[in-house]
Copies of this chain bind each other. A is one copy, B any other.
Amino acid sequence: MINASVCTIGDEILIGQVIDTNSAGISRSLGEAGIRVRRMLSIGDDRDEIFNNLRNELKLNPIVITTGGLGPTKDDITKAVLAELSHSSKYVENAAQMEIVYRILHSRGLEVLPNNKAQALVPENAEVIPNTLGTAPVMVFRFKEEEYGHPATLYALPGVPFEAMGMLPAVLDDIRAHNELCDIHHRNLMVYGIAESALSQKIASWEDALPKDIHLAYLPNPLTGIRLRLSIYGGHKEEEMLRIESEVAKLKGILGNLIYSDDDDSLENTVGRLLKQSGKTLSAAESCTGGEISHLITSIPGSSAYYLGSVTSYAVEVKEKVLGVPAETIEKYGVVSSEVAAAMADGVRCLTGSDYSVATTGLAGPGDDGKNPVGTVWIAVSGPAGTRTVCRNYKNDRKRNIERFAASALDFLRLYLTETKML
Contact = CB atoms under 8 A, between A and B. Distances in A.
Interface in A255-300: 281, 283-284, 286, 289-295, 297-299
A420 B326 CA distance: 37
A294 B290 contact: yes
Interface in A295-326: 295, 297-299, 301-304, 307-315, 317-318, 321-322
A39 B43 CA distance: 5
12 contacts: A14-B27, A16-B29, A20-B40, A290-B294, A290-B298, A299-B402, A301-B398, A307-B314, A308-B315, A308-B318, A309-B314, A315-B352
Given A21-B19, A49-B38, A397-B162, A312 B314 contact: no
B299 A308 contact: no
Interface in A7-66: 13-21, 23-31, 37-44, 49, 53
Interface in A52-86: 53
A261 B31 CA distance: 44
A422 interface: no
A365 interface: yes
Interface of A: 13-21, 23-31, 37-44, 49, 53, 108, 162, 219, 281, 283-284, 286, 289-295, 297-299, 301-304, 307-315, 317-318, 321-322, 351-353, 365-367, 395, 397-399, 402
Contacts of A352: 315, 317-318, 321-322
B312 A304 contact: no
A153 B293 CA distance: 46
Contacts of A16: 23-31, 37
B309 A315 contact: yes
B38 A41 contact: no
A122 B322 CA distance: 58
**Chain A contact surface mostly:** mixed
A221 to B, nearest CB: 8
Contacts of A14: 27, 37-40
A353 B317 contact: yes
Most buried by B among A29, A108, A162, A304: A304
B312 A312 contact: yes
Contacts of A367: 301-302
A292 B16 CA distance: 26
Given A16-B23, A295-B291, A352-B322, A41 B40 contact: yes
